[in-house]
Amino acid sequence: MASEQAAEFLDKLKRHSERMMAVSQLPLTDQRIVAEGLQAMTSTPDGVTFRDAGVDGLSGIWVEVSKESDSDTTEAILYLHGGGFAYGTPVGYRNFAGHIARSSGVPVLIARYRLAPENPFPAGLNDALAAYEGLLSLGYKSTQIALVGDSAGAGLVLSTLLTLRDRGSDLPAAAVLMSPWSDLQATGKSMTSNAGVDLMASAEGMRALGSMYAPGQEGDPIASPVNGDYRGLCPLFIQVGGHETLLDDSTRVRDNAVAAGVPVQLEVFPEMQHVFQLGGGTFPEADDAIAKAGDYLRDVFAEHEGAGQ
């Protein structure tokens, strides 16, 4: 059974979803303002600092662990935020990225990428690729970088990995996918089986966002990475809530990875909603998920460091 604190967070999530429905016919600029309220549910973590990544020639925000809180590190996390490819900002995701930085002990770059419908696929993907190349240009080795994302951002992580692989580029050490949206066509069985319990995502809504992001290309294996060939990808770590309509987006990504011989871990959190991790600092299930993701990243980086990579 979900904790009492989780129930309180899920009640807030329900009210947020209702507010989004209430403004669904307003201009997208107004919808985006309301959408930022989701990230406001994340608590402010201690021991992290925020700075504009522009000084490093990057577009986004650096979230760094204070030196008093952790030792210096030579690794970096590239974070791609969620929001259906149409919503979300690095500023809105600062606190959540702060929890990731605290858990992993690694600085996080929240990349700014262009949103649909003004900038449809592959504009956001190109920005994600540029952010990764930007980290390499700063001197990070590929094995010192991990990609992390939630929802649409996690789908974009997969799109980025597939494109890097196809280009013959060096892949990052690993990727963490939180409730990945990997199927723009919303064909998973959980779209129906969990329709009565998911507070955030409906098949109709996801298909509309998918068409906005990649009009006429919704089934493309890069835009919809559930359709991709995963051979040669880096290890994947996936988390998803048991009540998500997008549950099958995660299980099918896991199945694709297994079929391709890619190391993969999947954990389904019972009764949890889409991107429940955004409740970091407010209820134990979210904190547990963030801690597990951080432990995974620490282990991956330590393994590469031990191998001299």
Q: Residue with structure tokens 């989004």? A: 20
Per the annotation, the verdict on 274 as an active-site residue is yes
CB 291 within 8 A of CB 264: no
DSSP calls for the chain: ---HHHHHHHHHHHHHHHHHHHTTTS-HHHHHHHHHHHHTTSPPPSSEEEEEGGGGT-SEEEEEE-TTTS---S-EEEEE--STTTS--TTTTHHHHHHHHHHHTS-EEEE----TTTS-TTHHHHHHHHHHHHHHHTT--GGGEEEEEETHHHHHHHHHHHHHHHHTPPPPSEEEEES----TT---THHHHTTTT-SS--HHHHHHHHHHHSTT-TT-TTTSGGGS--TTPPPEEEEEETT-TTHHHHHHHHHHHHHTT--EEEEEETT--TTGGGGTTTSHHHHHHHHHHHHHHHHHHHHHHHTT-
Verify whether residue 244 is a known catalytic residue: yes
Catalytically annotated residue among 218, 274, 285, 304: 274
Q: Which tokens in the block code for residue 162?
A: 């597939």
Active-site residue (options: 244, 250, 285, 304)? 244
Q: Tell me which residue of 104, 99, 107 sits closest to 63, measured CA to CA.
A: 107
Catalytic residue among 104, 151, 179, 250: 151
Q: Which two tokens stand for residue 90?
A: 């690095």
| 193 flagged as catalytic | no
Residues acting as catalytic residues: 151, 244, 274
